């Protein structure tokens, strides 16, 4: 029998999910924020650029009236999500998730209460025209009480060539390499590598050909696409300046080298 290329300990999707994603915290934040805005829980959730659909899986765990739709272009990644993530759900939870292979620019039905695009995946849209088309389509895809929720990474570090290393509790190292950043176009070549205690490396486990967007640009695009009550949830920091994972609605923030925040709009 041919040897599998990746063991569970080196499968890029498992490493990515562990090192990059925080589905429980993200879904808690999104769910609470929707309730705050609309005074009732959201029922339907669309996860754009869903990849392995980890957030959708978390969403359907919230209750029997919750449904999720995951959208991604890449069939093998969706298949991986079905095999490894949806398979961990109960039959009832799994029956409330649909994964579709589609372009997020093109799919607008079924309409949903919440549309989320996390981990900056929309940075694949490198022109304002494409970004606006995406946000307009998101607007069309939402119910009247609908919320668009996107995260954004910024700060001076996001506009430099740099490499960041982070030890992951699993015993390996997550490496974010921003190999190039062009200050004229804001195009960036970003890569994720993993390094293991035995000296082995998984180079270029994921590569991203991105345009970095700024908060004011996204807010303007949300407004042009028809969104209302556009606001920012800014992550609070502890006394050592580290992010706490707690996000608060705010109009002004002090500059930091690297920050992650969320941009929200109501349909």
Which residues here bind ligand SAM, judged by CB under 6 A?
20-21, 49-51, 71-74, 77, 103-105, 118-119, 121, 124
Nearer to ligand SAM, 105 or 230 (CB): 105
Nearer to ligand SAM, 192 or 232 (CB): 192
Closest CB 139 distance from ligand SAM, rounded Å: 17
Rounded-to-integer distance, Cα 24 and Cα 57, Å: 10
**Measured at CB, which residue is nearest to ligand SAM?**
51
In the chain the first and final C-alpha atoms are separated, in Å, by: 53
Tell me whether strands 97-101 and 228-237 are parallel, antiparallel or unpaired.
Answer: unpaired
Walk across the sheet containing 112-117 and list its strands.
Answer: 97-101, 67-72, 44-48, 112-117, 142-154, 259-266, 228-237, 243-250
Listed as own residue / partner, the contacts of 153-158 with beta carbons closer than 8 Å and 24 or more positions apart are 153/120, 153/212, 153/258, 153/259, 153/260, 154/212, 154/214, 154/215, 154/258, 154/259, 154/261, 155/255, 155/256, 155/257, 155/258, 155/259, 156/255, 156/257, 156/258, 157/257, 157/258, 158/212, 158/258
3-state class of 50 per DSSP? coil
Q: Name the one residue in this structure whose structure tokens are 């005074």.
A: 39
Nearer to ligand SAM, 50 or 68 (CB): 50
Q: Please, are residues 143 and 111 in contact by the beta-carbon 8 Å criterion?
A: yes
Closest CB 134 distance from ligand SAM, rounded Å: 8
Nearer to ligand SAM, 49 or 259 (CB): 49
Nearer to ligand SAM, 95 or 100 (CB): 100
Closest CB 72 distance from ligand SAM, rounded Å: 4
Please give the DSSP secondary-structure letter assigned to residue 5.
S
194, β-bridge pairs:
174, 202
Closest CB 151 distance from ligand SAM, rounded Å: 9
Nearer to ligand SAM, 74 or 256 (CB): 74
Structure tokens at 235: 């992550």
Nearer to ligand SAM, 16 or 34 (CB): 16
């Amino acid at each position: 029998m041919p040897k599998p290329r990746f063991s569970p300990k080196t499968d890029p999707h498992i490493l990515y999910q562990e090192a990059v994603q925080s589905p429980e915290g993200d879904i808690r934040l999104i769910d609470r924020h929707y309730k705050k805005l609309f005074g009732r829980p959201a029922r339907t959730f669309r996860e754009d650029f869903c990849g392995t659909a980890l957030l959708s899986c978390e969403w359907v765990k919230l209750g029997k009236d919750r449904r999720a739709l995951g959208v991604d272009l890449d069939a093998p990644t969706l298949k991986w999500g079905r095999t490894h993530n949806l398979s961990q759900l109960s039959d009832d939870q799994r029956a409330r998730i649909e994964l579709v292979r589609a372009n997020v620019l093109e799919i607008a039905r079924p309409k949903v209460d919440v549309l989320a695009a996390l981990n900056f995946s929309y940075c694949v849209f490198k022109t304002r025209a494409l970004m606006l088309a995406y946000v307009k389509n998101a607007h069309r895809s939402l119910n009247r009480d609908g919320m668009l929720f996107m995260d954004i990474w910024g700060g001076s570090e996001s506009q430099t060539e740099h490499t960041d290393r982070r030890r992951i509790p699993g015993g390996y190292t997550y490496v974010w390499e921003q190999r190039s950043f062009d200050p004229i176009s804001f195009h960036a070549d970003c890569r994720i590598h993993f390094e293991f205690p035995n000296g082995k490396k998984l180079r270029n486990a994921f590569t991203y050909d991105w345009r970095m967007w700024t908060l004011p640009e996204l807010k303007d695009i949300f407004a042009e696409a028809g969104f209302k009550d556009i606001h920012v949830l800014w992550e609070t920091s502890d006394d050592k300046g580290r992010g706490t994972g707690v996000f608060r609605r705010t109009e002004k923030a002090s500059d930091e080298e690297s920050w992650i925040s969320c941009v929200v709009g109501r349909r």
